[in-house]
Amino acid sequence: MSTTTTHVVPPTSTHSHTIIFLHGRGSSASTFCSEIFESQDSSGAFFVDIFPSVKWVFPCAPKLCAEVNGEEMHQWFDILSVQRPWEGDEGQKESLKSSAAQILNVIGEESGGIGAENVILAGISQGCATAVYAILAKGARVGGFFGLCGWMPLFADIQDAMRNEMKTRIACEMPVLLQHCMDDEVVPFENGKGLCNRMRAMGIQVKWEVYPEGGHWLNEPEGMDGLVTFVREIMGKHAGIEH
């Protein structure tokens, strides 16, 4: 397993919140940052313009050997198929637990200065699945979570973990937004819908946004608008809201 490098984009005004955003399989922290920061809302604004007081933290997944083709790639855990993530899930456990521990450390570091309620966890694709595991199986405490085109990993393990009253309470009190595009050709829409349904069945209040187009990515501009609204609602609970 290789060492990982976290990519950080500091706020341009007084630091009030931190967003920890996990990239997908085969990407990296810096690559994902440059790509997601090209997204624009309906007014043409970018994330850094909309949220000047936000510190953006992009952890990087380790390089792991993929069992399917023997190649090394950045991935939070090895997986045989993102279309059928439940296949061979026993082999996902060790690396997923290790990645969740990495994310919990990042959350702890960021919470120390501004408080856990001002830290938002986010993820796309396998990064979304990893963040879900960190929250539901490991009890990560943050001010909110949003996930794009993801799925629920190791469902049986998460079910067992959610029998813990404290973990359930933490998850059920957390604002959650999930988005998925119906034309996603990498992670099937049904996998994202399944994640939403399973989280709701656990008592989690999930805001579920579906877009007909956008592929395996954030829909623009409507999906971007949805993320901005969600983040602003979280920010408005504590310090003054940004506009």
Number of domains in the chain: 1
Tens digit of each residue's pLDDT (9 = 90 or more) over 40-73 = 999 999 999 999 999 999 999 999 988 878 889 9
User: Does residue 2 lie within any of the structural domains?
Assistant: no
Give me the CATH number covering residue 144: 3.40.50.1820
Confidence (pTM): 0.95
Tens digit of each residue's pLDDT (9 = 90 or more) over 207-221 = 999 999 999 999 999
User: Does residue 110 lie within any of the structural domains?
Assistant: yes
Give the chain's mean pLDDT. Answer: 94
User: Does residue 243 lie within any of the structural domains?
Assistant: no
Range 95-109 average pLDDT: 97
User: Does residue 197 lie within any of the structural domains?
Assistant: yes
User: Does residue 1 lie within any of the structural domains?
Assistant: no
Name the residue range of residue 167's domain.
7-236
Helix axes 126-136, 189-201, angle to 10 degrees: 10
Q: Which of 142, 29, 118, 40 is nearest to 76 (CA)?
A: 29
Sequence-ordered alpha helix ranges (H) in the chain: 29-36, 47-50, 93-114, 126-136, 155-161, 165-173, 189-201, 222-236
Name the amino acid, one letter, at 214. Answer: G
Q: Give the pLDDT band (50/70/90) at residue 10.
A: very high
Residue 67: burial class (beta carbons within 10 Å; 0-12, 13-18, 19+): exposed
**Is the separation of the CB atoms in 231 and 223 below 8 Å?**
no
pLDDT at res. 243: 37
User: Does residue 44 lie within any of the structural domains?
Assistant: yes
Model confidence at 3: pLDDT above 60: no
Residues with Cβ within 8 Å of residue 190, at least 6 apart in sequence? none
pLDDT at res. 6: 96
Name the amino acid, one letter, at 207. Answer: K
User: Does residue 126 lie within any of the structural domains?
Assistant: yes
Q: Which of 232, 221, 174, 181 is nearest to 52 (CA)?
A: 232
